[in-house]
Amino acid sequence: MRKPFVAGNWKMHGSKAFILNLVTGLNAKSSELKGVDVAICPPSLYIDFTKRSLSTEVIAIGAQNMAEEPHQGAFTGEGSASMLKDLGCRYVILGHSERRAIYGETNSEVANKVQVALDAGITPILCVGETLEERESGIMESIISEQLDAVLGLVGIAAFKGVVIAYEPVWAIGTGVTASPEQAQEVHAFIRAKLSGLDENIAAGVVIQYGGSVKPNNAKELFGQPDIDGGLIGGASLDADDFIAICKAAEI
Ligand code: PGA
């Protein structure tokens, strides 16, 4: 039985005052969270502040990105896996479509980062997903396969015991357009079947989140699909009431 997992991706939003207010709201409602794993991923500059503001163990901390380079050194502006670990991060979002599209992260860089995170004892949330153009031209499955194959080829299927996958159709991110529960389920089932071809047990245990305009009013239907195990939440994770409502919609 997979335990649902909901993570908030705050992206580049917030300030100390904003975060204190948001985390105060989360602290107050955290006792309502049962039967769901929950994490919040602040901008790295605020990870420590956010962690210190949290008064509950129920909500874990994650990062939104990480250096590909495993060791400390002359890499101006970067932050390493061991630094995230030091700050108390349990998760790191890797290969988000914004990192791929805006910063040109390639499948092989994402794969290297997954390996580095795993080596550091941090659970990667590996994002995969197609653009609208790719979906409409019928290459959605091959795009998602390539994104997964790069990682599988480097770390191997056994390592997916410690990997969370987030399916995020690029056309649904921040657009207010959600994949229908059926559309999302179809891709989640495809991902699980692909992994199942390599190792049935591991595939059955991998948590696959859905991301892309998840809101309190559509979360339950999405999370009710057999292969959707929670969500990666952008905009709605910046509001404590909305985020908690979404987490509760994933509870088993
Ligand atoms: P959204 O973002 O919920 O604002 O669409 C999701 C994501 O990018 O992780």
The residues near 45 (Cβ < 8 Å, ≥ 6 apart) are none
Nearest atom, ligand 1, residue 235 CA: 4
Instruction: Specify the residue with its C-alpha closest to ligand 1, atom 9.
Output: 234
Give the confidence band of 143 by pLDDT, cuts at 50, 70, 90. very high
| H/E segment holding residue 210 | strand 208-211
- Ligand 1 mutation pick, 173, 209, 214, 223, max ligand atoms within 8 A of CB: 173
pLDDT value of position 93: 99
Average pLDDT on 135-162 reads 98
Give the confidence band of 157 by pLDDT, cuts at 50, 70, 90. very high
Instruction: Provide the mean pLDDT of the chain.
Output: 97
pLDDT value of position 1: 78
Q: Which amino acid is at 248?
A: K
Strand partners for 5: 37
Residues belonging to the active site:
96, 168
Has residue 252 got a pLDDT over 90? no
Q: What CA–CA distances, in Å, run from 134 to 71, 88, 169, 181?
A: 36, 37, 10, 19
pLDDT value of position 47: 98
pLDDT value of position 234: 98
Task: Kindly write down the DSSP assignment for every residue of 140-194, as one continuous string.
Answer: HHHHHHHHHHHHHHHH-GGGGGG-EEEE--GGGTTSSPPPPHHHHHHHHHHHHHH
Instruction: Specify the residue with its C-alpha closest to ligand 1, atom 6.
Output: 234
Task: Kindly write down the DSSP assignment for every residue of 65-84, as one continuous string.
Answer: ---S--S-SS-TT---HHHH
As given in the structure block, the two tokens for residue 227 are 């292969």
Average pLDDT on 60-64 reads 98
Question: 135 alpha carbon to ligand 1 midpoint, in Å?
Answer: 18
Which pLDDT tens digit goes with each residue over 12-27? 999 999 999 999 999 9
Query: Are the C-beta atoms of residues 164 and 5 closer than 8 Å to each other?
Result: yes
Domains, in order of start, for the chain: 5-66+77-249 (3.20.20.70)
Query: Are the C-beta atoms of residues 164 and 91 closer than 8 Å to each other?
Result: yes
pLDDT value of position 74: 98
pLDDT value of position 184: 97
Percentage with pLDDT > 90 across the chain: 98
Question: Does any ligand 1 atom lie closer than 6 A to the CB of residue 233?
Answer: yes
Query: Are the C-beta atoms of residues 33 and 56 closer than 8 Å to each other?
Result: no
Percentage with pLDDT > 70 across the chain: 100
Q: Which amino acid is at 45?
A: L
Which pLDDT tens digit goes with each residue over 78-93? 999 999 999 999 999 9
Instruction: Specify the residue with its C-alpha closest to ligand 1, atom 3.
Output: 234
Has residue 66 got a pLDDT over 90? yes
User: Helix axis angle, 216-223 relative to 240-249, nearest 10°?
Assistant: 20
